[in-house]
Chain A
Amino acid sequence: MSTLTREGSRVSLLRWSGLRRMPPFLILLAFLVLAAVAVMALFASVLEPYPPDELDLRNVASPPSSEHWLGTDTLGRDILSRIIAGADMAITGPLFVAITGILAASLLGILSGYLGGSVDMMIQRCVDFMFALPGLLIAIVIVGVTGGGYWMAVLVLALLNVAGGIRIIRSAALEQRALPYVEAARTLGVPRRRIMYVHIWRNISAIVFANAALDFALALVALSSLSYLGLGTQPGVPEWGLMLAENQSLLFSNPVGVLSPGLAIVFLATAVTIIGDWIYDRFSYGGRTGR
């Protein structure tokens, strides 16, 4: 019972997401935010007004000025430059988690949904187990105790994250299995592997990518949370979550500078969520477009 409704809750969230038919400017805005962060990540060294690690000892903990647009931190480092430098990490880690999610969900989710039987049973038991675990909490303990670095954190999150995707893709594949085209392919003697990973996959790929976008947003939030706690990232690395922790003492003297890495996280995560919904809305079919 509980697994059934849990599955239902995630699927219905995707299907009934209120973002559908958003005003186009919102979607455009989301793509602009994503593009801006991507540009920041690719051309960081050109865009940064100062090297992110340079200490400006004349301007320690200064408020925003014409010299330092977002002010400087307690060591005199330019906050704007550090936000630009942090775009790289904000994208690579979550992207890795999302890609792992796509692969695992496609491979295991379709397998589980199409084959059914004992394979399905086994995969679903593992998924149930992982779903019951509080992912971020486990990541905190594993990364903290082993003292692992950023990629350790990314890897742990990627592993803990696959369960949700597998579950969604499984139920989508289950729906497809009953459709005539699958039966037709089977009658024509199309190999099982081809039915699963070519025919069915194409029909549900929109869900796969929409889910990957959700994964990206969640991973961004989770990774920055770990860094905020000082886990997974070395002190001094320009990572948005860690910057919030390091600058927290300046909150009341330079709120704009301290809070902007947080805003960067919120903007990026929101933009990716909106894009994910847009993908689902734009490219998925199968009688659901009316909703």
Chain B
Amino acid sequence: MTEASSIEPEPAPGEMAIPDKEMRAARRVWIRRYVRRRLLVLIPLALFVTLAAFALTHIAPGGPLAALLEDQPTSPEAIQAIKEKYKLDDPLPVQYWDWFTGVLHGDLGRSILTNETVLNEIGRRFDVTLFLNGMGILIAICVGVPLGVLAALRRGRLVDRLLVGMSVLLMSTPAFALALFLLYFLGFKAGLFPLYGPGDWLASRVHHLALPALTLGLHGMGFVMRLTRASMLEQFEQDYVAFARARGLGSFHITVRYALRNALIPITTAAGLLFTGLLTGAVLVETVFGLPGLGTLLVNAVVSGDFPVIQGTLLIIAAWIIIVNIAVDIAYVYIDPRVGFEKAMG
């Protein structure tokens, strides 16, 4: 097999002449520069999101006062007291500034509904959402990518047709409907999973969250599968694959080491989009299963006009999306050596 090794290291033009050490150094420089630049752009974005949310809650019919006065006897004194407590008479920019400086000190304010600090409310629910999303994305990728590769390899055959059909069905199913289908068939009919609630201790919690996580995983899987299939087929048409075939390289080797590695670039992007997509899916899935996560927190806050909680949750979600985006772009550098090197040199 000496012949095979002599033709192997040529996946990307421009890469061959560069020693590994230099590559890695260039990569590090690029990542550092990139993260710095990205943060500079994304921090204003987070501010913009919270500012927009702030403006929205205060322009909404009745404003925050309407939310605050719910279920309470309305006397002018009560209104005055509430206005003073939440400083609603200050001009809006001042109110936003107060909230913003609070955030810098790690104080996100207090919930109107429960009078607990927003940070506590979020902290108590964060783990459920994190677990759901993490498991969901793991299932979506670990099952979706191999199935997508399989479909691409069996293109046009029955297996391919079935897999594509399945992915179209999954992509057309709203997360809440999928949750209800699974709840009925797997939870009730088959009795495999508990039906409601988050569970208390660790093992029970995993068991309780398995069905919601599976829902999210399947919800994202259709997209991952179709995208993997599409980008694998795109790679199979490239010259380098034809060349590798002509040289007699094994088809497993070509599929996994060459085509899949190149196909991974769009798939990584998809994983990033998936993270934001599953965040929305989590809102629905948490609602169906009655789980105390960030999603249900946000929906409850939105419905009752609990503006400190809305702003706090949105801030956390914005930060989440920003971090995922940065992680995805850094992942590119490791998957595709050309990215980091070109950027660092250019």
Q: Report which A residues bind B (CB closer than 8 A).
A: 1-2, 5-6, 8-9, 12-13, 15-19, 21-22, 132, 134-137, 140-142, 144-147, 217, 221, 224-225, 228-231, 241, 244-245, 248, 251-252, 255, 258-259, 262, 265-266, 269-270, 273-274
Contacts and interface: CB of A to CB of B under 8 A. Distances in A.
Contact of B303 (A15, A230, A248, A265): A230
Interface stretch (B6-14, B86-94, B166-174): B166-174
B214 interface: no
Contacts of A18: 151, 155, 160-161, 163-164, 167, 226, 229-230
A98 to B, nearest CB: 15
B231 A141 contact: no
A80 B237 CA distance: 49
B177 interface: yes
B60 A145 contact: yes
Interface stretch (B68-76, B107-115, B117-125, B181-189): B181-189
Interface range, B side: 35 or more
Interface of B: 45, 53, 56-57, 59-61, 151, 155-156, 160-161, 163-164, 167-169, 171-177, 180-181, 183-184, 188, 226-227, 229-231, 233-234, 265-266, 269-270, 273, 276-277, 279-280, 283-284, 287-288, 298-299, 302-303, 305, 310, 314, 317, 321, 325, 328-329, 332, 339, 343
Given A2-B328, A137-B279, A221 B60 contact: no
A182 B299 CA distance: 51
Chain A contact residues, majority secondary structure: helix
A6 B325 CA distance: 12
B172 A221 contact: yes
Contacts of A245: 176
Contacts of B188: 251-252, 255
A270 B277 CA distance: 19
- A145, A252, A265, A266 — which one has the most chain B CB atoms within 10 A of its CB? A145
B309 to A, nearest CB: 12
Of all A-B residue pairs in the complex, the 6 with the closest CB atoms, nearest first, are: A144-B302, A18-B164, A269-B172, A262-B177, A16-B230, A270-B172
B265 A5 contact: yes
Nearest to A269: B172
A228 B284 CA distance: 8
Contacts of A19: 164, 168
Contacts of A13: 226-227, 230
B50 to A, nearest CB: 11
